[in-house]
Chains A and B, each alone.
Chain A
């Protein structure tokens, strides 16, 4: 049987597509946005979106989809954009991704879909993230969400944590007809999407809209529930009648460097700094009650080179910091942050002190931070992460005057669920043991994914885990079969 070859609707001949430059994302001017919390990127117009979509080479074997943790059918949705069928394009993405307006904004596309785009061998890759964002926003503006009509299965699933992985599980399972209730420890739904990622990168309105859509589909949410404290996994399963539980509790306890002076007033963890700003709206003090230190005219530094670090320091800049530094112990090439964020941060005037690390925080003798004693680094042999290990350069110490220092050097596993759930296996470092293919834990009916399994990662990787978990939860609820954990590969983090 010969496959039906659909004729491409793209008006640009294949050979000419590489000649079309990647359409630039319209953005707020750097000098302007450095002083406000409005979104940096403004989004494509329909015309820009179609022009960009026309660059797609329509590969026979698209590597973009293979490289997407949730498997978005990129080629198909892009073709619908070319045809101007934006709503259909959005529906096509939604088949695999329940949060397209969010991933279109925060995914590290260069490491995922765009990283493997054939175009990138010669020119800039297709703007897949920009296109995803465009169709998701278009759909939202049109207000034409389709609420799928499914018959209820009578099975109940509890989702612990309302971050990207929990929302993905909820979104996928509700569409299979299961009853889903999401438990959130904080007072707002969204996890890291609301407490961590700032407004200028991901407007909270976007998150609310996605959550409202989930509510429309029938997902129930309960805030102010710390699973492990307010209710245990056992109680959910044996007393409240949940047939399966997904644990997506996310980022753990912020790490500190254990160097002198970390307890000084003015030293924050990035999680605390960002939570005060994003969740508690401390930047609107005194209209909002949660306080934070006044950053106007102050020198602020973040320690670390990931997305969290950049989110924190760019927030500090917007709160009026006179000097805003990134102190990172390796070089540009090793920085884990999303490329676009690094680019935006440089445009905004963030001062990158690369190959530098603090060795001590300095004080005024009254408990307040006055600066960081830093040392320059050079790169030695590769370490266990495969990246070259930074080694201090002797005699390179210097003092950087600072009023606020923000530690963004990663997290360790939060122990609350693990220590209150008998039989739930954990790894050496305290993360939950889960199969990499099915997200099953060592407890029957309990699944886990996202940062609580892998350690700190990205929104899209957490969503990928959520996607796999939803498929495997559905299978478990349908067949009742539970493969003993240990028979398959489990995360070794």
Chain B
């Protein structure tokens, strides 16, 4: 008990030292206070950003965009994965193009997207769609492809028809892979949403709020935004984990 308690407190030593150092540097002189904002100022910034509704407004913008992009990306990704798993023709046609486009780093295509779709909402959502699309295609395809054929045989032996085999055998067998795709897609789409806002600075979003704060050298606002983004990312991952544990509870 005592040892575990000691272990717990040890974990706080370095963070406390870092915070102390931060607080110390922030009170040293004006040059330091520029980068190391005092902790009390960060609290004030939280209160102010919440009070003015600025944080919620931009948060809503980012979340809205992320959910639209995520839904479209997941839907299109799953459909593409299904097509590739069930039709050799689709696989032959889609796979080479998919694999080559996938080589370009996600944010590397933003200049091209900007020229095609402009600087606004469409471009940002397109990036999020792509972020969710890639892992969903790969995982749906892999999940369906790796289903043991004998499971299907058993299904037919029990007199199930195609649709029933699909629903009762293939979908449950591919579900774990679908969820592991979702576990990659959701955080990736969230990061893509924020990064898209950093790159296309039009409209409301946490990324935009951060870029404005960067231009005005408001470290406190940036810290609040970064914290919010990280917390929401954790929350989303947890939600997906919970959902996947619930949906796959029959496996235990």
Q: Check if A and B associate.
A: no
Interface residues of B (CB under 8 A from A): none
